[in-house]
């Protein structure tokens, strides 16, 4: 799936209704699959240098990241979904999506186990008031390869936190240029401007890269104008924080979780798809 196709699909989903399957944050982009082959760099970015060389350094720098916290939001047709996750290389991850007037979905992954907390409307849809009374506010627990939980376990790795940074492809490369130096949260930052054009629409992105130390990405704003299906627009914002920080990813208490294998089929709220 191309980058623009994934973004267009997300925009259609958000404008048409809730789609909590997006809690997996979608597939990794094509270029992230070989991220483990990248070698970390100690070179500092150059605001007056070549934009493609800078972007290569950005991608290489992420290969050595041990942990990171990501926050963001997606907005289309006046509807905004917040999302975020904390992930490290030790197999620990916590992520969430927040839907206005609907609820939150939270996922916790530790090693090969995953816990997912569905919003109340899905308990109601699955098993009526009985399911709500039994399970409201609880996490559904199981192995990461469980068919109902696998999509929520996806994206819980460090490389996926940077999957949006692969712009364009060999057949339709993105047009990149350097913008003015600026600051972001008190840090000096280099601006990278990215333009992409495909039959489905156009994407304009502004990436802020740390101008001191390792060239870590700091913030990305992406605006897509799509014509098929459409017309419509979608704006996505993503920020990266606390590189190398420690995150307390606590397993939900046993009293607040239920094993998916113990749940009656009529109470199963999955898949968390369009409402």
Q: What is the pLDDT of residue 175?
A: 95
Whole-model pTM? 0.81
Computed on alpha carbons and rounded to an integer, the radius of gyration of the chain in Å comes to: 20
Q: What is the pLDDT of residue 230?
A: 67
Q: Where are the beta strands (DSSP E) in the chain?
A: 67-76, 79-88, 92-99, 103-110, 113-117, 139-143, 175-178, 182-184, 187-198, 201-210, 217-226, 232-241, 257-259
Quick check: 172 and 46 in contact, CB under 8 A?
no
Q: What is the pLDDT of residue 45?
A: 54
Nearest-angstrom CA–CA distance, 34 and 46: 25
Ordered mean pLDDT values, 10 residues apiece, the chain (275 residues) = 43 39 37 41 59 93 94 90 92 90 90 94 92 95 95 87 86 92 96 91 95 96 82 92 92 96 94 66
- As given in the structure block, the two tokens for residue 41 are 């760099």
Quick check: 105 and 272 in contact, CB under 8 A?
yes
User: Which residue, among 201, 195, 198, has the nearest Cα to 229 in the 3D structure?
Assistant: 201
Q: What is the pLDDT of residue 17?
A: 38
Q: What is the pLDDT of residue 43?
A: 52
Q: What is the pLDDT of residue 140?
A: 97
- As given in the structure block, the two tokens for residue 5 are 């196709």
Q: What is the pLDDT of residue 42?
A: 53
Nearest-angstrom CA–CA distance, 214 and 157: 20
Q: What is the pLDDT of residue 9?
A: 43
Q: What is the pLDDT of residue 148?
A: 94
Nearest-angstrom CA–CA distance, 23 and 21: 5
């Amino acid at each position: 799936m191309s980058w623009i196709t994934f973004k267009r699909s997300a925009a259609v989903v958000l404008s048409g209704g809730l789609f909590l399957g997006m809690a997996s944050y979608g597939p990794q982009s094509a270029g992230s699959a070989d991220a483990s082959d990248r070698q970390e760099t100690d070179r500092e970015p150059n605001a007056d240098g070549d934009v493609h060389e800078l972007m290569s350094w950005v991608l290489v720098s992420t290969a050595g990241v041990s942990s990171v916290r990501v926050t963001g939001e997606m907005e289309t047709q006046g509807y905004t979904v917040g999302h975020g996750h904390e992930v490290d290389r030790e197999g620990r991850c916590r992520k969430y999506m927040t839907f206005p007037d609907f609820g939150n979905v939270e996922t916790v992954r530790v090693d090969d186990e995953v816990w997912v907390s569905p919003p109340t409307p899905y308990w109601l849809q699955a098993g009526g008031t009985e399911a709500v009374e039994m399970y409201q506010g609880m996490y559904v627990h199981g192995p990461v390869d469980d068919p109902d939980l696998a999509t929520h376990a996806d994206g819980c790795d460090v490389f996926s936190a940077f999957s949006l940074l692969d712009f364009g492809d060999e057949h339709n490369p993105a047009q990149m240029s350097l913008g003015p130096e600026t600051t972001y949260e008190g840090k000096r930052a280099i601006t990278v401007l990215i333009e992409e054009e495909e039959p489905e629409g156009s994407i304009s992105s502004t990436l802020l890269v740390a101008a001191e130390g390792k060239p870590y990405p700091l913030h990305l704003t992406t605006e897509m104008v799509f014509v098929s299906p459409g017309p419509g627009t979608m704006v996505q914002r993503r920020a990266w924080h606390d590189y190398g920080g420690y995150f307390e990813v606590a397993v939900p208490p046993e009293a607040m979780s239920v094993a998916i294998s113990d749940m009656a089929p009529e109470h199963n709220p999955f898949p968390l798809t369009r409402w």
